[in-house]
Amino acid sequence: MKVAIFSSKTYDQQFLDAANTDHHYELTFFEPRLTATTASLAKDFPVVCVFINDRLDAEALEILAAQGTQLVALRSAGFNNVDLAKAAELGLTVVRVPAYSPYSVAEHTVGMILMLNRKLYRAYNRVRDDNFSLEGLLGFDLHNCPVGIVGTGKIGQCFAQIMKGFGCQLLAYDPYPNTACMELGVTYVALADLIAQSKIISLHCPLMPETHHIINAETLAVFQPGTMLINTSRGGLIDTPAVIDAIKSGQVGYLGIDVYEQEENLFFEDLSDTVIQDDHFQLLQSFPNVLITAHQAFFTRNALENIANTTLNNIAEFAAGRPCVNQVKLA
């Protein structure tokens, strides 16, 4: 079975090659993102394997289907980059990796909170410069701090578990409350109440039409002044110009993002020699209370092993003509 792997980096090749010793598929690694422009690379490949910033819109899917592709194997949990209706119409099967390590993302989220609260990025640079002043490094205790979790699925639950260890007061909003979270002591409230009561708000819901810009000018207006907002889920959950205004007004006191609405033009590439054209991104970078990481929350050895193994097992199910438990279907 020939598999075209798009958006591939050295680490993808390393972990997929290792997992492939059990399968012996013919893996071809392509560096470019899969879009309608690059889809021709997948000619005669029955399987394409893609990541979060590959764009499988109607145009790209039509090209793939016409060239003989039958299976789209996502190396991610999120599938907001695939036009599922079009894939179904074309008879393309879509599979994903629903869980590879919720711990990796939850732990990175907590790392961002500590970094922003205790200003570790400034402290590290200061001490290296023999500046031992504490001015400007004041933080707050996480103990007793009200923390709002939007989305308490696998990652939100891990995050709740860790924050309980800090002694935080845990609030959550999720249309489908999680009993394991309730047993941890999480209190479910309406989104408006979570926003109004939390000092830290962390987003862990998927990007869907209902959650697009869930953080917008209207919801930001209800934030407590100085609230910390963390997004390790998907960039489209936050209206970027609105959050920039809220940082300027002080309504948002800290912003930590591992994902960004326009990240497909930036993340996963070394652009250090380039003039970045995205003014919103550049403005965010200029603020002292903003921490940006480039979609690395998932990036642990454990997660990459699980992604590679599940992806190749998904392909094996498809190749054997068996129904795949990880198939993504239209709701």
Q: How far apart (Å, rounded) are the C-alpha atoms in residues 295 and 81? A: 15
75 binds ligand NAD (CB under 6 A): no
Order of strands across the sheet that contains 252-257: 187-188, 169-173, 146-150, 200-203, 227-231, 252-257, 290-292
Q: Does 267 bind ligand NAD (CB under 6 A)?
A: no
- Which residue in the set 54, 239, 258, 264 belongs to the binding site for ligand NAD (CB under 6 A)? 258
Binding ligand NAD (rule: CB under 6 A), the pick from 171, 295, 311, 318 is 295
Distance CA 232, CA 264 (A): 15
Q: What is the dihedral of CA 227, 233, 236, 242, to 10 degrees?
A: 10
DSSP per-residue letters across 141-174: --TT-EEEEE--SHHHHHHHHHHHHHTPEEEEE-
Name the token pair of 298.
Answer: 């998932």
Among 33, 96, 154, 199, binds ligand NAD (CB under 6 A): 154
Catalytic site includes residue 234: yes
Q: Is 135 a catalytic residue?
A: no
Q: Answer yes or no whether residue 198 interacts with ligand NAD by CB under 6 A.
A: no
Q: How many CA atoms lie within 13 A of 158 on its CB side?
A: 15
d(CA 195, CA 215): 10
Q: Does the protein bind ligand NAD through residue 179 (CB under 6 A)?
A: no
Q: Is 187 exposed, middle or buried (0-12, 13-18, 19+ CB in 10 A)?
A: middle
156 binds ligand NAD (CB under 6 A): yes
State the pairing for strand pair 47-50/71-74: parallel
Residue number of the CB atom closest to ligand NAD: 153
Q: Indicate whether 210 belongs to the interface with ligand NAD (CB under 6 A).
A: yes
Sequence length of the chain is: 331
Query: Between 223 and 298, whose beta carbon lies closer to ligand NAD?
Result: 298
5 and 27 in contact (C-beta within 8 Å)? Answer: yes
Binds ligand NAD by CB under 6 A, chosen from 34, 71, 105, 229? 105
Active site residue 295: yes
Q: Which residue of the set 295, 305, 317, 322 is catalytic?
A: 295
Smallest gap, in angstroms, from Cβ of residue 104 to ligand NAD? 7
CA 222 to CA 25: how far, in whole Å? 53
Give me the least distance between CB of 229 and ligand NAD, in Å please. Answer: 15
Q: Exactly one of 75, 234, 261, 264 is catalytic; which is it? A: 234
User: Which entry of 33, 75, 263, 264 is annotated as an active-site residue?
Assistant: 263
Q: Which stretch binds ligand NAD (CB under 6 A): 23-31, 81-89, 140-148, 153-161?
A: 153-161
Q: Does 151 bind ligand NAD (CB under 6 A)?
A: yes
Told to check if 174 binds ligand NAD by CB under 6 A, we report yes
**Residue 45 neighbours by CB under 8 Å, 6+ apart:** 2, 3, 4, 28, 67, 68, 69
- Counting contacts by CB under 6 A, is residue 96 touching ligand NAD? no
Binding flag, residue 173, ligand NAD (CB under 6 A):
yes
Residues that bind ligand NAD (CB under 6 A): 77-78, 99, 102, 105, 150-156, 173-176, 204-207, 210-211, 232-234, 258-259, 295, 297-298
The catalytic site residues sit at 234, 263, 295
